Amino acid sequence: MKTKSRRSFLRKSTVLLVGGFTAWQSVLRNAAADSRTTGQIARTNSDAFVLPSLPYAYNALEPFIDEQTMRIHHDRHHRTYVDQLNKVLDKAPEWKGKNLEQLLSQLSAIPETVRTAVRNHGGGHWNHTFFWNIMMPSGGPLPTGKLLDALQARWTSYAAFQTAFTEAAMSVFGSGWCWLIADKNQKLSIVTTPNQDNPIMDIAAIKGKPVLGIDLWEHAYYLKHQNRRAEYIKDWWQVVNWPKVALLYESE
């Protein structure tokens, strides 16, 4: 990133105040910067959103998530959300300077003519950027520390949490997401959202700070697992980046 755009990116980051999640957003961004991706959920100088690179190779999550799925999911699906978001914002110039988190947390204030498109494509861009970052090649350590304490406080054990999360993910009808979120008191809950909605949206039934999330659209698993969502979820547990989830949980 050029110095000028970096400076402008940083300035925009420091003025972000969305639901008190500023530090948490910066964790996600820094994590992305660490992995040499640039422009995460930020904009370029031209005020257009950009598709971030994956923080690992396309085949890094094999054999649990296959390379072809990752290529199509990132290069085509995620790119389409970014492109369509930029396109719709051309029709709402007063919203063009906003950061993605600002857009999603103020959907009700966005003109009706573009609101649904911002919700779907902006949500798609945020969700996928988040999703890439909470996965890692297999062999990551299971939760420890404060995150494990919070999981045990709510579900008794890590295994019981995993069962509850899997059941919630299986219960999503059609396309959507299942999330682990923290409230202002750092209490954890499992919530599901339809389509590309997420818990940072002002219109979400239950809002909170996402610390883990799984994409339940068939495009996330159909090539390898066909219609077998349960097998996809089982494989996905093997690639959860628990150190990153813990960082997100512990950020304010």
Task: Choose among 220, 200, 204, 212: nearest CA to 237.
Answer: 212
- By beta carbon distance, the residue nearest Mn ion is 215
Cβ of residue 89: shortest distance to Mn ion, in angstroms? 21
Return the number of the residue (215 or 235) whose C-beta is nearest Mn ion: 215
Q: How far is the CB of 65 from Mn ion (least distance, A)?
A: 12
State how far the alpha carbon of 121 is from the alpha carbons of 11, 24, 179, 244, in Å. Answer: 24, 22, 18, 25
Q: Which of 193, 163, 167 is nearest to 178 (CA)?
A: 193
Nearer of residues 80 and 102 to Mn ion, judged by Cβ: 80
Q: Among the candidate windows 28-36, 108-116, 176-184, 208-216, which touches Mn ion by CB under 5 A? A: 208-216
Give dist(CA 183, CA 167) in Å, integer. Answer: 21
DSSP alpha helix (H) spans, the chain: 3-14, 22-34, 67-71, 79-89, 100-105, 112-117, 123-133, 145-155, 158-171, 222-225, 229-236, 242-250
CA-CA distance, 62 to 1, in Å (whole number)?
A: 30
Rg (C-alpha) for the chain, rounded Å, is 17
Residue 143 near residue 158 (C-beta atoms within 8 A): yes
Question: How wide is the angle at C-alpha 63 spanned by C-alphas 173 and 169, nearest 5°?
Answer: 20
Under the criterion CB under 5 A, does residue 197 sit at the interface with Mn ion? Answer: no
From 13-21, 104-112, 146-154, 213-221, span contacting Mn ion (CB under 5 A): 213-221
DSSP states along 30-48 = HHHHHTT---TTSB-TTS-
Which of the stretches 63-71, 141-149, 193-201, 218-226 binds Mn ion when contact is defined by CB under 5 A? 218-226
Nearest CB to Mn ion, comparing residues 95 and 217 = 217
Q: Does 217 bind Mn ion (CB under 5 A)?
A: yes
Does position 235 interact with Mn ion (CB under 5 A)? The reply is no
Residue located via tokens 């990116």: 9
Q: Which residue of 58, 118, 182, 215 would you call a contact of Mn ion, by CB under 5 A?
A: 215
Residues 12-31 that bind Mn ion (CB under 5 A): none
Which residue number, 126 or 161, has a Cβ lying nearer to Mn ion?
126
- In whole angstroms, how close is the CB of 135 to Mn ion at the nearest point? 12
For the CB of residue 131, give the shortest distance to Mn ion in the complex, in Å.
7
Number of residues lying near Mn ion (CB under 5 A) = 3
**Cβ neighbours of residue 162 closer than 8 Å, sequence gap 6 or more:** 237
In the complex, minimum distance from the CB of residue 217 to Mn ion, in angstroms, rounded to a whole number: 5
Q: How far is the CB of 63 from Mn ion (least distance, A)?
A: 20
Distance CA 115, CA 214 (A): 24
Closest distance to Mn ion from the beta carbon of 45 (Å): 28
Name the residue nearer to Mn ion (CB basis): 162 or 195. Answer: 195
Residues near Mn ion (CB under 5 A) are 215, 217, 220
